Amino acid sequence: MRTVVVDGPHSIRVDTRPDPVLPGPDGAIVEVTAAGICGSDLHFYEGDFPLGEPMPLGHEAVGTVVEIGPDVRRVAVGDQVMVSSVTGCGACPGCATNDPVMCYNGFQIFGGGVLDGAQADLLAVPAADFQLLKIPDGITTEQALLLTDNLATGWAAAQRADIPYGGTVAVIGLGAVGLCALQSALFQGAATAFAVDRVDGRLERAARWGATPVKPPAVEAILAATGGRGADAVIDAVATDASMTDALNAVRPGGTVSVVGVHDLQPFPFPALGCLIRSITFRMTTAPVQRTWPQLIPLLRSGRLDVDGIFTTTLPLDEAAKGYATAASRTGDDVKILLTP
């Protein structure tokens, strides 16, 4: 089968590797029909994380079940499914919360160096009854892909930001996760939203959704707009030292900073004393993907929550290198890339 691998900074190729085998009696093999390039994939592409050897990439996938183990009960061969980007054993008390990060046996992420990558022809999925969900009627391929990671992450980021009804939120970073977080925050009760990014096209998109566009650093603009108090909540979908510092300085006393961006491997100089004095809540979140599905799917099917247009470019799997270069350009026209095996 073909699979996308990264073998160094800005070096992507489509490799040919043996087809996967069932990862156990509770596992499944999925023929991937669409896969997304995530902002966190770019950390490997841009050399932020070290690589010991060429590594398969990708953790966002939808596809068709082509093989199941004897213990699989909830999906069948031929089902169109979406695959949670984060995996758990599916059998422990932690997984019973529908949050794979809480798995007592340890969670894993596809394409992170342990499990195979989802940007491939075929994907082996452990604990299939927990990781897979049949794509419901009325859910598009693009929506299903967002449900595997980005929308679940943005939704959880907004939930953990403690946004009061009628309150003010700032979202830093308007990639796919940031845009999903912005829509989620508005849906969850924010009356005023500041959208922070350097790219004009992304700021224009956020403005069309009703947000106030701000270029970073955003502290001065947000403080001026809130009478010096700051935003009730700040969602950081970037997680650089600069963006987290901006977030902590832009939130009001007693407010919450919710971080879902992926930081690098260097320590962040956390301003603990200032946060203590101002009673700031600081949260970092990996999405409880499966837990979000019962909330998000009805909202998408009804049209109440609109994330259409976040996927801006579709390319065949063989053009993955072009897809990564496009994603890394971070332009206003190219927000998220969809690969089709």
pLDDT tens sequence across 133-191 = 999 999 999 999 999 999 999 999 999 999 999 999 999 999 999 999 999 999 999 99
Q: What is the pLDDT of residue 6?
A: 97
Average pLDDT over residues 255-263: 97
Average pLDDT value for the chain: 97
Is residue 332's pLDDT more than 90? no
Q: What is the pLDDT of residue 340?
A: 98
Compute how many other C-beta atoms are within 10 angstroms of the C-beta atom of residue 169. Answer: 32
The CATH architecture that domain 154-284 belongs to is: 3-Layer(aba) Sandwich (3.40)
Nearest to 206 by CA among 11, 214, 283: 214
Is residue 66's pLDDT more than 90? yes
Is residue 112's pLDDT more than 90? no
The rounded distance, in Å, linking the Cα atoms of 1 and 20 is 9
How do 55-56 and 60-68 pair as beta strands? Answer: unpaired
Q: What is the pLDDT of residue 113?
A: 84
Q: What is the pLDDT of residue 39?
A: 94
- Residues contacting 38, CB < 8 A, separation 6+: 58, 59, 60, 85, 149, 150, 176
CATH: 3.40.50.2300, 3.90.180.10, 3.30.420.40, 3.30.930.10. Which one for 2-149+288-339? 3.90.180.10
**Range(s) within the chain of domains with CATH label 3.40.50.720:** 154-284
The answer to whether the CB of 123 falls within 8 A of the CB of 30 is: yes
Is residue 281's pLDDT more than 90? yes
Of the two residues 166 and 50, the one the predictor is more confident about is 166
Q: What is the pLDDT of residue 283?
A: 98
Q: What is the pLDDT of residue 185?
A: 98
Residue 25: Cβ-neighbour burial (10 angstroms; 0-12, 13-18, 19+): exposed
The rounded distance, in Å, linking the Cα atoms of 28 and 125 is 5
**Range(s) within the chain of domains with CATH label 3.90.180.10:** 2-149+288-339
Is residue 52's pLDDT more than 90? no
The answer to whether the CB of 83 falls within 8 A of the CB of 132 is: yes
Judge if the upstream peptide bond of residue 70 is cis by omega within 30 degrees of 0. Answer: no
- Residues contacting 86, CB < 8 A, separation 6+: 59, 100, 101, 107, 108, 109, 149, 286, 287, 289
The per-residue pLDDT for range 265-279, each reduced to its tens digit, is: 899 999 999 999 999
The per-residue pLDDT for range 21-38, each reduced to its tens digit, is: 999 999 999 999 999 999
- Residues contacting 154, CB < 8 A, separation 6+: 177, 178, 179, 180, 181, 182, 183, 184, 237, 260
Average pLDDT over residues 97-101: 97
Q: Is the dihedral of CA 138, 143, 148, 150 positive or negative?
A: negative
In the structure, what pLDDT confidence band is assigned to residue 3 with cuts at 50, 70 and 90? very high
Is residue 50's pLDDT more than 90? no
